[in-house]
Amino acid sequence: MDQVFSQNEVIITKRGSVGCITLNRPKALNALNLDMIRAITVALEQWRSDPDIKAVYMAGAGERGFCAGGDIKHFYKAGMDYRRGLIALETAMIFFQEEYELNGIIFHYPKPFIAHMHGITMGGGFGIAGNAKYKIVAQDTKFAMPEAKIGFFPDVGSMFHLKSLDNNIGLYLALTGNMITANDMLYCGLAQYTADRDSHNEILSGLQTALADSAKGEHESVISVLNNYKRLTERSECELEKNRGTIAKVFSSSSVSDIINMASEHGGIIGAGYQSMLINSPLSMKIACEYYQREDLKSFDDIIKQDLILAMNFARGRDFYEGIRAAVIDKDKFPIWEARTLEEISMDTVGSYFTP
C-alpha cells in the first residue's frame, strides 16, 4: 500500500490501482470538517488524471459510523461571527460551498467511486457516500437526513435522491428526519450492495484483481466484484417496504399540516414520524416539502446549486443556530423555533428562501 497523503482526520492511500480514502475522526463519528473536505477534494482531482488509479474506495474508521455529517459546531461559530458583524456571510459559508463542490465532484466522478457505509451515516455523510456511483451498506448502517430537527434542510444534493424514491418515501425522510436501516436503504434504492464493515480488505483485493484485467472496462470490472455483495433484503426487517402504501398515502399532500394530521392516525414508523414532525422546525419542514415538490429542480446540478442558495438564506435566519445550540452546544434538546406553528409561515416566506 502506497501512502500518498495522511493526516489525523483523513487518510488517503493507493492500493494498487484503487485510491483509498478513510475518514479518520472516529471519536467524532467522522464528522466532516473543512480540512477533511479539502484533502479529499485534492486527492480526487489528482486521481482524476492519474492513469494508475482506476477506481476510488471510501470508508470510515471506527465501529460507530461512516460519517455523522458536517461539523456543525464549526459552522455555528462562523455563523455567529457573521451575525455579530465580524465576518462576511460568504466567509461563514466557505464550509458549505466547498462541501457542495465536493458532493458534485463525487456525483460526476468519471472513474468508479465506491462508498462503503456503516453505522451512523447522516446528512453530510450521505453527501459523500450517497452521491457515489456504487453504494455499499453494512448491516448496522443507520441512515437519516435529520436537518429538520436542527432547523435546516436536506442538503448535500440529497434532494436529488429523495425525489427519485417511490411511494413518497423521500418526503417521509425529509420531513421526519428519522433513521432507517441498511435493509430499508437497499429496498428503496439508496444503496445497491451490502457487505460487513470488516470486509474492506476482501473487497479491495477483489477490485485490484478485476481492474488488472485490461479486457474489461473500469466500471464493468467494479460491478463484477460488487455483484458478489448484492443480496435481497430480509423483508420481515424492512420497515419501509412494510409501510410503503401508508407512507405513499400520508405523504401525498403538498401541505405539511395535512401530512401531520394524517400521520397522527397511525402507529409504527408513521407514528414515530408524527412525533418527530411535532417538534421539528416548522420552517424547515415547509421548505423541505416545497423543495421536494418543485418541478423545476430535478437535476443534480440544479439541486446542488439550489442547496447553496438555501443554506445561505438559512444562515441569515435564526432557526439553524437555535437547532445547533439545542443539539450540540447547550445540548438541552429543546429548540425554540422562530415560528412555533406552520400557520405562522407564509408561502411568500418559503419562496424567499429559494431566491439568491
Nearest residue to 182 via CA among 174, 167, 192, 171: 192
The yes-or-no answer on residue 70 being catalytic is yes
The yes-or-no answer on residue 155 being catalytic is yes
User: Which residue among 119, 124, 170, 323 is the active-site one?
Assistant: 124
Nearest residue to 250 via CA among 280, 289, 222, 281: 289
C-alpha cell at 127: 453527501
Asked if 346 and 127 touch (Cβ cutoff 8 Å), the reply is no
Asked if 243 and 254 touch (Cβ cutoff 8 Å), the reply is no
Phi then psi for residue 13, to 5 deg, are -135, 170
Nearest residue to 170 via CA among 244, 281, 107, 104: 244
User: Which residue among 70, 123, 157, 273 is the active-site one?
Assistant: 70
Radius of gyration (C-alpha) of the chain in whole angstroms: 20
Instruction: List the Cα angle 27/281/299 in 5-degree steps.
Output: 80
> What is the C-alpha separation between 222 and 225, in angstroms, rounded?
5
The yes-or-no answer on residue 124 being catalytic is yes
Nearest residue to 137 via CA among 163, 165, 118: 118
Angle formed by the axes of helices 218-226 and 200-211, nearest 10°: 140
User: Which residue among 60, 99, 127, 155 is the active-site one?
Assistant: 155
Query: Residue 12: what residue type?
Result: I
User: Which residue among 104, 123, 127, 147 is the active-site one?
Assistant: 147
> What is the C-alpha separation between 271 and 21, in angstroms, rounded?
39
The yes-or-no answer on residue 268 being catalytic is no
Task: Give the residue numbers annotated as catalytic, written as ranges.
Answer: 70, 124, 147, 155
